[in-house]
Amino acid sequence: MRIVLVGPPGAGKGTQAAYLAKNLSIPHISTGDLFRANISQGTDLGKQARAYMDAGQLVPDEVTIAMAKDRMSQPDAVNGFLLDGFPRNVGQAEALDEMLKSEGVTLDAVLDLEVPEDEVVKRIAGRRICRNDSAHVFHVTYNPPKAEGVCDTCGGELYQRDDDSEETVRTRLEVYHTQTEPIIDYYRAQGLVVTISALGKVEDVTKRSMEALKKDREG
């Protein structure tokens, strides 16, 4: 299957993408991973992206599109893929359509993970990270430490990242509504959108997603 995964910050796209890709036996292609791989490998595209990033500028669509095209041409993606973070706007969605059309294939579904805005803010603004090890992550509501402000694992200080503050989260949501959300209408016009509630346990969201994709494919 060829799937695009969309949803606001805090919807759990990365987590769901990993589970879904494993269940569907297709590669999970994340924009973040694409950038990191190209930059660390020193590819021409990576050097271009790095130059923009170092200058504090957004990486142009054409560079992102070229990275995605190169990744989707790899052998493991021939029979399908799950795109996470791409396309990010309607221009990229149109470019993706052209890419797939040139290969004689189409998308099977666009999975829209739906989460109320207040829940997104609660999820992200409640995160606390250990200063000693960023892999130690807690949440003031869903996974609180035994002692407030102290990491259960190593005793390090827990802190809130600047980009996890409520103000920053609401700004990120506004960017999502303005730039990315329009692709849902774009794909809905093609009859590709499958909307799933991303509330509840991770495994429940995965199960709902798999059932909806199966039903969509059979339908």
Rounded distance between C-alpha atoms, residue 67 and residue 63, angstroms: 6
Q: Would you state the structure tokens that stand for residue 33, as one six-digit string?
A: 């991973």
Q: Which of 2, 122, 123, 127 is catalytic?
A: 127
Q: Say which of 161, 214, 215, 217 is annotated catalytic.
A: 161
127 is annotated as an active-site residue: yes
- For residue 172, indicate whether it is catalytic: yes
DSSP letters of 159-217? E--GGGSHHHHHHHHHHIIIIITHHHHHHHTTT-EEEEE--S-HHHHHHHHHHHHHHHH
Q: What is the pLDDT of residue 188?
A: 97
- Residue 219 has what pLDDT? 63
59 backbone φψ class: left, alpha, beta (φ>0; ψ -120 to 50): beta
List 2, 13, 71, 208, catalytic entry? 13
Residue 161 among the catalytic residues: yes
Question: Tens digit of pLDDT for each residue in 140-162?
Answer: 999 999 999 999 999 999 999 99
DSSP codes, the chain: -EEEEE--TTS-HHHHHHHHHHHHT--EEEHHHHHHHHHHHT-HHHHHHHHHHHTT-PPPHHHHHHHHHHHHTSGGGTT-EEEES---SHHHHHHHHHHHHHTT----EEEEEE--HHHHHHHHHTEEEESS-TT-EEETTTB--SBTTB-TTT-PBEE--GGGSHHHHHHHHHHIIIIITHHHHHHHTTT-EEEEE--S-HHHHHHHHHHHHHHHHH-
pLDDT recorded at residue 73: 93
List the catalytic residue out of 2, 71, 172, 208: 172
Rounded to the nearest 5 degrees, what angle is found at the Cα of 166, between the Cα atoms of 139 and 181?
A: 100
User: What's residue 58's pLDDT?
Assistant: 86
- Find the catalytic residue in 69, 88, 170, 207: 88
Show the tokens assigned to 173. 């949501």
Digits of tens for pLDDT over the chain (219 positions)? 999 999 999 999 989 999 999 999 999 999 989 999 999 999 999 999 999 999 988 899 999 999 999 999 999 999 999 999 999 999 999 999 999 999 999 999 999 999 999 999 999 999 999 999 988 999 999 999 999 999 999 999 999 999 899 999 999 999 999 999 999 999 999 999 999 999 999 999 999 999 999 887 776
Tokens of 61: 């669509």
Closest Cα to residue 14, out of 61, 76, 83? 83
Q: State residue 106's pLDDT score.
A: 94
pTM: 0.89
pLDDT (tens digit per residue) in 106-128: 999 999 999 999 999 999 999 99
What integer pLDDT is reported at residue 218 of this predicted model?
Answer: 72
